[in-house]
C-alpha cells in the first residue's frame, strides 16, 4: 500500500510516517497544500491520501475539491481539529471517505487506513486468496495451504501488489512505483532479484509468477 500524507505539523507527520511504515506501507509526505496538489496531479500510484485540512498555501478542502474535480476516486482520510465540525462536514460533502479528529489513536488510524485501502480495491476483508495462497494484509502474513511462508518486508510488498492484480500484467516500472518512496532508488535488476526470491518461496502447487519478457510479471494459477 502506498500512502501520501499531507500534514504541516512535522511532529505529527513523523509519528504517522513511523507508524505506517512499521505496518508495511510505503509512505510519502508533503507539508503544504500546493505540494499535495502537485503530487496528486503528477503521481497516480497512491492507494490513499491522509489529508490535514489546515494546510498552508492551499487549504486541504481545496486540495480535495481539485482532486475530485479531476475525477480521481482516490480514498481520502481527512484530519481536522476536534472542534472543526463544519470543516469535517464540508470535507465529507466534497468527497472525503472518512475523517479523524486530532488528537487520535495511531492504532485506530492504522485500522481506518486498512479499511479505506480495502474499500478502494473492492475488498470487504483484509484477506486476499489466490489458489492455495492466502495473504492477510492486516497481519502481513502469507500462507500456502495454511502453512506460513517466511517473507522479507520487500517480498511481502511485492506479493501484495501481484495479488491485488492477480491475472493481470504488472510492469517493473509499476512495481517500483508501488514499492519505493520518493528518493529511494530500486533498479529493474533489483526487482528481478526480488521476483526470483519470491518465486522460490511461493511457487508451490498450482500458482506461479509468469514473466512476460520485456513487459513484466503476472501472478497466475496453473490449470490442473
SS (H, E, C) 7-38: CCCHHHHHHHHHHHHHCCCEEEEECCHHHHHH
User: What pLDDT does 23 receive?
Assistant: 85
pLDDT at 124: 57
User: CA 145 to CA 78: how far, in whole Å?
Assistant: 39
Q: What is the structure's pLDDT at 120?
A: 66
pLDDT at 28: 96
Distance CA 223, CA 19 (A): 41
Is pLDDT above 60 for 199? yes
Identify the pLDDT of residue 123. Answer: 62
Domain 2-120 has CATH 3.40.50.2300: yes
Query: Looking at the domain that runs over 127-221, which CATH code has it been given?
Result: 1.10.10.10
Whole-structure pTM value: 0.80
Residue 122, classed as helix, strand or coil, is coil
Contact 207, 132 (CB under 8 A): yes
pLDDT at 36: 98
39 pLDDT exceeds 90?
A: yes
Domain ranges (residues) in the chain: 2-120, 127-221
Using 50, 70 and 90 to split pLDDT, how confident is the model at 159?
A: very high
Q: Is the pLDDT of residue 121 over 70?
A: no
More confident residue, 185 or 172: 172
pLDDT at 45 over 80: yes
The model's pLDDT over 176-197, given as tens digits with 9 standing for 90+, comes to 888 888 877 778 788 999 999 9
Same fold, 2-120 and 127-221: no
| Arithmetic mean of pLDDT over the chain | 90
Residue with more model confidence, 44 or 175? 175
Amino acid at each position: 500500500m502506498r500512502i501520501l500524507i499531507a500534514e504541516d505539523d512535522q511532529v505529527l507527520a513523523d509519528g504517522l510516517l513511523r507508524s505506517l511504515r512499521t505496518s508495511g506501507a510505503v509512505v510519502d509526505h508533503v507539508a503544504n497544500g500546493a505540494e499535495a496538489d502537485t503530487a496528486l496531479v503528477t503521481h497516480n500510484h497512491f492507494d490513499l491520501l491522509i489529508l490535514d485540512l489546515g494546510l498552508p498555501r492551499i487549504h486541504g478542502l481545496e486540495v480535495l475539491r481539485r482532486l475530485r474535480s479531476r475525477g480521481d476516486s482516490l480514498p481520502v482520510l481527512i484530519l481536522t481539529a476536534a472542534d472543526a465540525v463544519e470543516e469535517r462536514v464540508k470535507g465529507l460533502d466534497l468527497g472525503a471517505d472518512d475523517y479523524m479528529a486530532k488528537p487520535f489513536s495511531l492504532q485506530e488510524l492504522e485500522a481506518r487506513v486498512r479499511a479505506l485501502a480495502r474499500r478502494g480495491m473492492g475488498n470487504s476483508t483484509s484477506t486476499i486468496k489466490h489458489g492455495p495462497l492466502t495473504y492477510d494484509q492486516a497481519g502481513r502474513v502469507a500462507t500456502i495451504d495454511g502453512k506460513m511462508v517466511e517473507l522479507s518486508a520487500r517480498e511481502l510488498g511485492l506479493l501484495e501488489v501481484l495479488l491485488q492484480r492477480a491475472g493481470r500484467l504488472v510492469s517493473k516500472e509499476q512495481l517500483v512505483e508501488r514499492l519505493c518512496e520518493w528518493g529511494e532508488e530500486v533498479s529493474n535488476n533489483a526487482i528481478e532479484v526480488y521476483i526470483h526470491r519470491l518465486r522460490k518461496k511461493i511457487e508451490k502447487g498450482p500458482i506461479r509468477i509468469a514473466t512476460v519478457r520485456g513487459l513484466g510479471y503476472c501472478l497466475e494459477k496453473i490449470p490442473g
